[in-house]
A and B are shown apart, each in its own frame.
Chain A
Amino acid sequence: MAHLVLGVGGLIMAFPFLWQIIMSLSTNAEVQSVTPVFWPAELQWENYVRVFQRLPFFDQLQTSVAVTVIRTLAQILFCTLAGYAFARMRFRGRGVLLALVLSILMVPSQVYLLSQYQLIQGFGLLDSLGGLVLPGLFSAFGTFLMRTAFLAMPAELEEAARLDGANPLQIFWRVMLPLATPTISVLAITTVLWSWNELLWPLVVTTFSDRMPLSAGLATLIGDRTTDYPVVMAASLLAMAPVLIMFILLQRRVIDGLASSGLK
């Protein structure tokens, strides 16, 4: 009984992906047939080749990869450093600065979007990689996550290193950072997912489709009167593929990480 419900449910969840795969291998006439064609007469693999010929797909893929890699590395660096200092060091104004950072967690992103756009425009970074990555290099959520991880660590190791004459950077880098790897992987996974899938920011800071990441690039394909559906489906599947493959390879880690962080 449980298997019946979960199996049928799982099939419903997976069905849109399966249907997308089938359509990506069909002809446009088969997709738009009034009687549904559940399996194409001949598998049209060349639709996947046409993705690269018809759309600036390769440019967009490169942009998505660059944006995601840069943001993820920057967030790991900045958030672990700041999270460690907020958790483990004493300095004047710590409480106030921490409150400043954490207050951002309560604010919906629309509230800072307009000014972020103006800043990027002012820097002359519209339609550039710099403009796409910039605000996302910093994360209040990531800092909160890393601070929580560092708070939970035992003080003994730190003190032993201190007695050995290590300076705070050495203590952080050699002793504490390796201990934080599980939480860093949660931060990396959430940042990759968010950065790869995000739509609103790229939509706002880019206007030329060859400058867009994949998420915004796909959105430009909507609404054409003469949509080439199989190519659109193939492009969508290719755009999702890196993240879906990462998810399937690291499934337990991704699921537990996202469930514990509660953020998309």
Chain B
Amino acid sequence: MTSSSLRPGSPAPSLPGRAARARPGNPAHGPGGARSSGGGRIAGDGIWPWLFIAPLVTGISVFYFWPVLQTAFYSLTDWGVFGGWTFAGVDNYVALFADPSLYLSIGNTLLYTAIVLLGIPIAVYLASLLNLPGLRFASLYRVLFFLPYVAMPTAVAMVWRVIYNGDFGLLNHALALVGIDGPYWISTPGAATVAVAIVGLWSSLGFSLIVLAAGLKNIPPEMYEAAELDGASRWRQFRSITVPLLTPSIFFVTIVTVISSFQVFDLLYAILGSSNPVLPKSMSLVYFFYREGFVTNDKGYAAAIAMVIFLIIGIVTAVQFRLQKRWVQSD
């Protein structure tokens, strides 16, 4: 257990700036070859790296990596009411794919995601305004738009619940002024999902805005000057310069928004409330998972739902990366 391989005086091997690639075990060193001190390639930093990584790697293995494997296995088991399990093969998946709740929660999650994604074009437009040269109060605007993103979802849910209230909520008051008779937002299926999604849009808009505004900074001002000389209108510049050159940022924001929207739980739970009778009709995928896993306590079934969520997010992300080649400009 000595750390003799740290040799002061010899140029220590280090790999600055190079991504560590998975190195297949060097066949020249058999089992236990790590101790060999002569081989220049493997001669490392002795015991030190192990001490450095031990707490983290142990924690990640116990609390993250192992649980992933366990969940994959649980999805193939059936759990009794008093604990104990039996191997069930693909029964959970068969039952899940025949369960209308799955399709309902996928539908609600898609509707939620679609509405939150509407925030991206809004954010592109706002970012282009925020980036106008010499704009005053720019940092005030940034703070205002970013505020909902950092606020605690359960705490903001409390005020939105009142705004959406069917009897005394401000939203229906405002709608009544223009002659619309608003629904009981929080207790009407469909309306409840839309209500939650509007809050989702409100809370994620600031993030998209900031990322897009940072992307805009990378567009050389000369391009706008040249367009100006050619007599291109503001709108034309926005369409032909801003949007195309911003596509990498738009892509990033879209990926992040889709992944987080597919996992919506906090806002839905806190705005609708866990005892709301509308929940079975308005639940998201993750709420469905939570209900099965921690309310009805069907671990095997919940594990299968978790694996399906994993799969759906994986597929959606892969498809977006595929489609990226069609619309994202790279240089």
Contacts and interface: CB of A to CB of B under 8 A. Distances in A.
Instruction: Say whether A and B bind each other.
Output: yes
Interface stretch (B99-107, B157-165, B321-329): B157-165
Give the size category of B's interface with A: 35 or more
Contacts of A215: 152-155
A100 interface: yes
A262 B259 CA distance: 11
B97 interface: no
B17 A151 contact: yes
A112 interface: yes
Interface stretch (B5-13, B189-197, B225-233): B5-13
B130 interface: yes
Given A89-B48, A138-B59, A162-B8, A244 B151 contact: yes
Interface string B271-293: 00111100000000010011001
A54 interface: no
B155 A218 contact: yes
Contacts, number: 338
Contact of A172 (B12, B52, B303): B52
Interface residues of A, number: 113
B20 A222 contact: no
Interface string A115-155: 11101000000000000001101101001000000011111
Nearest to B260: A264
Contacts of A236: 152, 154-156, 158-159
Contacts of B184: none
A97 B11 CA distance: 26
B237 interface: no
Contacts of A259: 207, 210-211, 214
Contact of A99 (B22, B48, B49): B22
A2 interface: yes
Contacts of A7: 141
A62 interface: no
Interface in A222-244: 222-223, 229, 232-233, 236-237, 239-240, 243-244
Interface in A1-56: 2-3, 5-7, 9-11, 13-14, 16-17, 19-20, 23, 31-34, 36
B152 A239 contact: yes
A89 B51 CA distance: 12
Given A110-B309, A111-B310, A100 B61 contact: yes
Nearest to A222: B273
A16 B19 CA distance: 45
B67 A101 contact: no
Given A13-B144, A94-B20, A223 B273 contact: yes
9 contacts: A88-B15, A151-B16, A204-B290, A236-B152, A251-B143, A255-B142, A259-B210, A262-B256, A264-B260
